[in-house]
Structure 1
């Protein structure tokens, strides 16, 4: 059956499939029963013909010659009584004269196309006293057998048809009843809108398939709700962070144009405006990077890096700022990782910039490198104000900055830590943060070493 001919509804399709399966099963059983019955009836006809042939031969041995056969016609009639389709013919071998026959035996026995006829003959039969040889033919046309099989075939066809129809109806009813939880789930899903993302559908106890669908749908709703909340917060933070430099630029321009200025004042305004332009450029660059990272369009150029010398080189860019704040940078440990060098430098720069800004004067920023068989860890620790428990889960969100960092917003876009998280995810790693009560803040980068191990195995092979 072509799939285009099937009904569109699941109830209709299952009803058709049920009917098809039942029709095949009933047809198979009916065919088996039909041919078994036909074989048994034919076997019974063989037994009847063989038994009648023995009876006729026994009777012929008791008659008194050919005259005895003629005078005992009624006894031959008794042999075939009750068998409307039984034929008996006795013929003399000497002259071919038919001594006894039932019905139109000549026409029937000479017809070659009689279907299902059972014929047995004996040429060794003899008459009683004169021992004259005769030919005995006993046949059964099979008409009664054909009538029985025809009635049985009609009954099978009718029963199969009724069974298929009833199965389709019962199957449709059962399917419709079992799909009620699915229809209820659809009605609940139709109630969901953007304003009701917190709505959760009920999870029926059975069937388990619908329960699993409901659970998966609720999990999807949770992800959509979280994404929608983050997007709403992102939009609000983006509007806030873009508005600040734009307002500064507008304010500078309006004040400058309010009256004639000296050339030095115009230079100052342009320098201040340039700072805001640079801030906007950094923000746009960071947003573009995050958008490309989200859509997996950042192609990694993997290279092998020795971490200790690389981190020492990167820390030199922050030495001047660190000295101004009375902070030192210490590096301990070493390892080798396979990373994208540019993205790795960007992640480390963002974390070092964040550590130097928030470290207390007179403390040290500690960079510790360690590794095991599968992971390389880089811990960047600084001592300063503790990050609150409320801020810790949100610190890697875009445009999120704790209250203590808001005063530093002139130098921060609020996207640095979000970029670090995206870079680590692109490398198959992760970044975590801890801020215990002693004032130490630890950012941990975890790089997987699987890529390097696979390459070493290929080289060895």
Structure 2
């Protein structure tokens, strides 16, 4: 079954609330009116009773009743809807002013009775105390009952019309009130790869929906950013792979233009192998970054002496540093829980990057501090402040003269380093000042 629309639910809820309030108010008014009529009837009966008592004072037997009847009839004639019954204390009727009256109530006091299609309010009392004759006054209240019944019908009619009117007005109000939600739905339905720049007007939204609209806008902004990165990433991949593929095709075509010696074919295959190895490495790096983007990197938790790992890497890069006349230094010690291969790869990328941009006679320094804070710094040319945030972007190279498809560096090393650091719950930033370029890593301490 189709679920009921929110606007319809609100309209029915408004109608039910209005009907309940109207019914409660009507019933309360009806009860108050009935009680008011009872009080008026009681006052009228008591006033007539005092007059009847004065006319029948001293009456003990039916024999004294005929002498008092003329005055009694005269008194009753003043109000046509009033009737009287006089009976002995044991219930035997002595006098009844009107036929068709209901029986005398068993107990004294005010009561409501019904006889021959007529409603009566009766008041029964003893004339002169215990054992004396009983007087019962009957008041025709049929007109009261007709009024109350008409009022009850009016109440039900009012309840029905109020519920209907409230349902219609509630539907209209709900439709207008839910317009921002429909607007959010329309924006969400119109979102595509070509319309990620659409935003909801938060300032025009009600307070209750402003937060939702802000959340939707933030989601669209994240999608837009991710799509832009993906588009740029795809374009960068195409640029990076175009040159080596072109080199491979050209080299292979040239090699096949004429017969060559075995050694020449061997050299051609070695050249192609280098290009293929570089392409395979770049593809592996891109797969690594793709796993990082989807949160699939789960680093191991092994106790590591980070200074020992740094010393091993410095020893590995020592020949390269010696050829470039660069001094390698390590300061401080640090212990942490982490993934050894991942962290070695991250530090290796930083050291390789530092050695490439450190001039002869310069210095590369790795500083370890408690906390855990790792700083890889190198001397060299300053990097433009605007370029520092982009150093960790994929395929980004500071050198504007870089060659597309370089088989040496694809510009993925720092991006991989950041992914590894973030997978360990840390952060990495770059600074450049005073002739030093510093990459600072902050990692959580191991337990």
Shift of residue 304 of structure 1?
Answer: 2.4
Task: Please name the residue that 2:168 is paired with.
Answer: 169
Answer with 182-191 or 94-103: which moved more.
182-191
What secondary structure is seen at the aligned counterpart in 2 of 1:219? helix
Check the 8 A contact 1:305/1:338 in 2, yes or no: yes
> Residue 424 of structure 1 is aligned with which of 421, 425, 442?
421
Shift of residue 12 of structure 1?
Answer: 3.4
Q: Is 1:434 aligned to residue 431 of structure 2? A: yes
Task: Please name the residue that 1:235 is paired with.
Answer: 234
Shift of residue 422 of structure 1?
Answer: 1.3
- Superposed counterparts of 1:4-43, under 5 Å: 6=4, 8=5, 10-43=6-39
What secondary structure is seen at the aligned counterpart in 2 of 1:227? helix
Aligned length: 438
* CA distances 1:352-402 after superposition (whole Å, capped 9, x unpaired): 111112211111111112234xxx211110112322334322221122222
Answer with 114-123 or 264-273: which moved more.
114-123
Shift of residue 322 of structure 1?
Answer: 1.6
* Alpha-carbon separation, structure 1, partners of 2:400 and 2:419: 24
* Alpha-carbon separation, structure 2, partners of 1:417 and 1:233: 17
Task: Please name the residue that 1:395 is paired with.
Answer: 391
Task: Please name the residue that 1:244 is paired with.
Answer: 243
What secondary structure is seen at the aligned counterpart in 1 of 2:385? coil
* Alpha-carbon separation, structure 2, partners of 1:371 and 1:34: 83
Q: Is 1:56 aligned to residue 55 of structure 2? A: no
* Alpha-carbon separation, structure 2, partners of 1:370 and 1:117: 102
Check the 8 A contact 1:326/1:362 in 2, yes or no: yes
> Which sections of structure 2, spanning at least 5 residues, go unmatched?
none
Answer with 189-198 or 335-344: which moved more.
189-198
* Alpha-carbon separation, structure 2, partners of 1:179 and 1:345: 56
Q: Is 1:121 aligned to residue 124 of structure 2? A: yes
* CA distances 1:6-32 after superposition (whole Å, capped 9, x unpaired): 3x2x44333222212212222222223
Q: RMSD across aligned C-alpha pairs, in angstroms? A: 3.5
Q: What TM-score, normalized to structure 2?
A: 0.84
Check the 8 A contact 1:73/1:100 in 2, yes or no: no
- Superposed counterparts of 1:230-379, under 5 Å: 230-372=229-371, 376-379=372-375
What secondary structure is seen at the aligned counterpart in 2 of 1:288? helix
Task: Please name the residue that 1:444 is paired with.
Answer: 440
Alpha carbons of structure 1 residues 351 and 222: separation in structure 2 relative to 1, 3 Å: same
Task: Please name the residue that 1:160 is paired with.
Answer: 159
What secondary structure is seen at the aligned counterpart in 2 of 1:382? strand
Shift of residue 202 of structure 1?
Answer: 3.9
Comparing both structures, which one devotes a greater share of its residues to helix?
Answer: 1
* CA distances 1:328-349 after superposition (whole Å, capped 9, x unpaired): 2211122222222222122111
Check the 8 A contact 2:60/2:132 in 1, yes or no: no
Check the 8 A contact 1:326/1:361 in 2, yes or no: yes
Task: Please name the residue that 1:412 is paired with.
Answer: 409
Alpha carbons of structure 1 residues 159 and 189: separation in structure 2 relative to 1, 3 Å: same
Answer with 90-99 or 249-258: which moved more.
90-99
Task: Please name the residue that 1:459 is paired with.
Answer: none
Alpha carbons of structure 1 residues 396 and 136: separation in structure 2 relative to 1, 3 Å: same
* Alpha-carbon separation, structure 1, partners of 2:3 and 2:397: 61
> Which sections of structure 1, spanning at least 5 residues, go unmatched?
456-461
* Alpha-carbon separation, structure 2, partners of 1:22 and 1:67: 64
Alpha carbons of structure 1 residues 72 and 280: separation in structure 2 relative to 1, 3 Å: same
